[in-house]
Structure formats: C-alpha cells, structure tokens
C-alpha cells in the first residue's frame, strides 16, 4: 500500500480540528489533500474525507506582496455574489488565524466541471461548442459588470475614483518589490500609460483576472459556465480593464500567447479578437474607443504578475511545474506591448 503524501501548504492535523468546528457535514475520517494544478499565485487544494470534497485556498508559500493574496477579500466578493447571476462556488468558512495553517485561508464547495487549460482539452470541442463557449464567456463577463455591487453588499469593496491611475502606480510599486532584473522597457510602458489615462465610465465589479481557464465549464454543456474562479484581484473599478486582460489571454492577436491563448487561436469556432470586442460592446453598451490603452495596461500588469511568480520560483517558493519560462515571458510581454503602442491611434500612448 503506497504512502499518502501531503502537499506543502496544508497541515491536515490542525485543519482537521478546524473543519470539524467550521465546515458543515464533516465526517470523522482523516482528511487528505491534493494540490490542484493551474494556479500560479494563490494555492488551491482539493480536500476530502473520502466521501465529501471541498476546496481550500491560501496565499503562496513565500514572497507575499503588500495588498496581494488577500483571502478575506476573495472570500467576501464570492460570498456577496452567491445570489446574483454570476456563477460562483458556495463559500463555507474563512480563517484568518495563521496558527491553524500558517496563513489565512478559506474553504468553499468543490464544483463538478471542467477547467480548459491545455490544447488537448480545447481540441475536444467542435466548432459549435467552441462558439457557444465564447458566447458564454462574454455573457458571464457582462453579468459580472452588471451586478449592482452596492445592493450585493460590496459598496465598500474598492475606491472607483482614480482607479486607473492608482492601478498603474500600484503595479509599478509591485514591480519594484518583485523585479529580479532591471527592465527599462517596462518603465517606458508605465510612462506612456500614465500619459494616456482614459476617462473611466461607471464603475463595476472588476474580476481582475478573467479568462477561460479561470472559469469552470459544465461537463455536459460547453456553453454553460458553472463557476468563475480566482477572485484574488477583484475590486471596484473600470470594467474595461477586465476586457483588456481577457483579450491578452485570448491569444488571437499579435501579442504573445499566454495561458490557453495559443490553443484558442487555432481552434475553429472560438471567437476572433474582433468578435470578442464586438460581442462585449453589443451586450454591455460600453464605449470601447480607448481599448488600445486597456490592452497595453493588461500587458503591463501581467508582466509584473509573471515577474512576481518568477521571483517566487527563484526563491524555491513555488509548487508544481512550468515556472522555468517565466523570466522570458516578462520581457516578451513588455516588448510586444511597446511595439503595438508605437502605432496606437492614441497619441500619448505612442510615446509622443
């Protein structure tokens, strides 16, 4: 009989006592944990007593930056969205006492569904299924941006005024805390973003990292998202920041293919970039004249996120595989964004 190993980041002995007191329907069997693949930032585990299953989320093992990886924040927004049209897992318990598991964490239900993470999984969809999946992704994004956040109890969840300026500044501060090497191109991109700040429309909930592989799709219906995951960067602000990042991840552009993007671009049925933009504009009614700025900001933000992951990898504080290429991705993201902004229709974004 093989020995059951416990992944780093969970202490099942201490967690068992916590689960007995705070998680409904817990049995008496020993808990087991498995690291769920896919996360590059907060760590996600499947916890089971052999009969029931839950999901536990906690911050990374090291290099936790100020204001990042806030478990209470992620728990709050998901709890608030339970009774809205946005599909989220049911939250069960939040623990901010670090003596329980060495870091704050929360527990939620484990949803049955598929997270499409790799080319083989995406290739299993036919053209009609891929199109329905595309439509559902945009529909759910519009639903997120349509939530009456005050009525949902999220009126104090962020400061929408000055959101874009503050985002550029704060991500720049995160870069200074994370960088493993100097990158003058990133400083130039930040300068252009500050010079070309657009005027935001009405504020909404912003997911902060919305993409295909941060959603869970019904196993029986690719046109049905059963859960939106990974709310760690959510706030109140400009919804077009979500659209810009979604387009960067989508992959049907001359930007570097990130996450599932390389696979999406080659599969019949998935929306093209222009179809994504047109569908969002039609369903949301928002003006997208400054979309180039939001796409450039997406590259800036993602480059800094990836550098943070690279810094943790170099410190030996990551779990899982696939971290070796992070350093090269940072420069590619920034260089490609600068090249694209050189021909932007927004004068200040061109560096003029």
| Choice between 130 and 313, residue whose per-residue pLDDT is larger | 130
Give the model's confidence band at 127: pLDDT under 50 very low, under 70 low, under 90 confident, else very high: very high
Lowest mean pLDDT across 71-85, 209-223, 300-314, 333-347:
300-314
Question: Alpha helix locations (H) across the chain?
Answer: 12-22, 71-80, 98-101, 119-123, 127-146, 163-178, 184-195, 240-250, 261-264, 273-284, 291-314, 326-341
- The pLDDT assigned to 2 comes to 41
For the segment 23-74, what is each residue's pLDDT rounded down to a tens digit?
A: 988 878 899 999 986 455 788 999 999 999 999 999 887 645 555 558 999 9
- Segment 324-348 shows an average pLDDT of 86
Spatial separation of the C-alpha atoms in residues 32 and 56, rounded to whole Å: 12
The DSSP code sequence of 232-282 is TT-EEE-THHHHHHHHHHH--SSSPP-TTHHHHTTSTTSPPHHHHHHHHHH
Nearest to 236 by CA among 196, 284, 201: 201
- The pLDDT assigned to 320 comes to 56
Could you give all domains of the chain from N- to C-terminal order, each with its CATH number? Answer: 12-109 (3.30.200.20), 119-350 (3.90.1200.10)
Lowest mean pLDDT across 119-123, 128-132, 164-168, 195-199:
119-123
317, pLDDT greater than 60: no
- The pLDDT assigned to 62 comes to 60
4, pLDDT greater than 70: no
Nearest to 145 by CA among 239, 79, 229, 224: 239
Nearest to 208 by CA among 179, 186, 238, 187: 238
252, pLDDT greater than 70: no
Rounded to 5, what percent of the chain is helix, strand, coil? 45, 10, 45
Q: pTM for this one? A: 0.91
- The pLDDT assigned to 36 comes to 87
For the segment 190-229, what is each residue's pLDDT rounded down to a tens digit?
A: 999 999 999 999 999 999 999 999 999 999 999 999 999 9
- The pLDDT assigned to 1 comes to 35
For the segment 91-110, what is each residue's pLDDT rounded down to a tens digit?
A: 999 999 999 999 999 999 99
- The pLDDT assigned to 322 comes to 58
């Amino acid at each position: 009989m093989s020995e059951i190993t416990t992944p780093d980041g969970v202490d099942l002995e201490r967690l068992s006592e916590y689960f007995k007191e705070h998680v409904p329907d817990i049995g008496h069997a020993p808990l087991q944990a498995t690291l769920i693949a896919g996360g590059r930032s907060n760590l996600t585990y499947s916890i089971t007593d052999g009969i029931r299953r839950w999901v536990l989320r906690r911050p990374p093992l090291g290099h936790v930056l100020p204001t990042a990886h806030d478990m209470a924040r992620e728990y709050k927004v998901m709890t608030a969205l339970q009774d809205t049209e946005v599909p989220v897992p049911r939250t069960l318990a939040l623990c901010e006492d670090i003596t329980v598991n060495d870091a704050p964490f929360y527990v939620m239900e484990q949803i049955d569904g598929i997270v499409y993470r790799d080319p083989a999984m995406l290739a299993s969809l036919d053209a009609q299924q891929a199109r329905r999946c595309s439509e559902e992704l945009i529909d759910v994004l519009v639903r997120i941006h349509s939530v009456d956040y005050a009525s949902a109890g999220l009126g104090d969840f962020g400061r929408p005024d000055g959101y874009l300026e503050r985002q550029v500044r704060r991500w720049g501060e995160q870069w200074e805390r994370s960088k493993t090497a100097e990158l003058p191109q990133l400083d130039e991109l930040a300068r252009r973003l500050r010079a070309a700040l657009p005027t935001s429309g009405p504020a909404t909930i912003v997911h902060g990292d919305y993409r295909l592989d941060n959603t869970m799709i019904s196993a029986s219906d690719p046109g049905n998202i059963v859960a939106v995951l990974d709310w760690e960067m959510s706030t109140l602000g400009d919804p077009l920041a979500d659209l810009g990042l979604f387009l960067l991840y989508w992959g049907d552009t001359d930007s570097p293919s990130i996450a599932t993007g390389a696979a999406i671009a080659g599969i019949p049925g998935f929306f093209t970039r222009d179809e994504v933009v047109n569908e969002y504009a039609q369903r949301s009614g928002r003006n997208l004249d400054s979309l180039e700025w939001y796409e450039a900001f997406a590259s800036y933000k993602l480059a800094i996120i990836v550098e943070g992951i690279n810094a943790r990898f170099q410190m030996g504080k990551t779990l899982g595989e696939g971290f070796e290429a992070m350093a090269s991705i940072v420069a590619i993201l920034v260089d490609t964004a600068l090249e694209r902004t050189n021909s932007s229709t927004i004068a200040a974004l061109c560096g003029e």
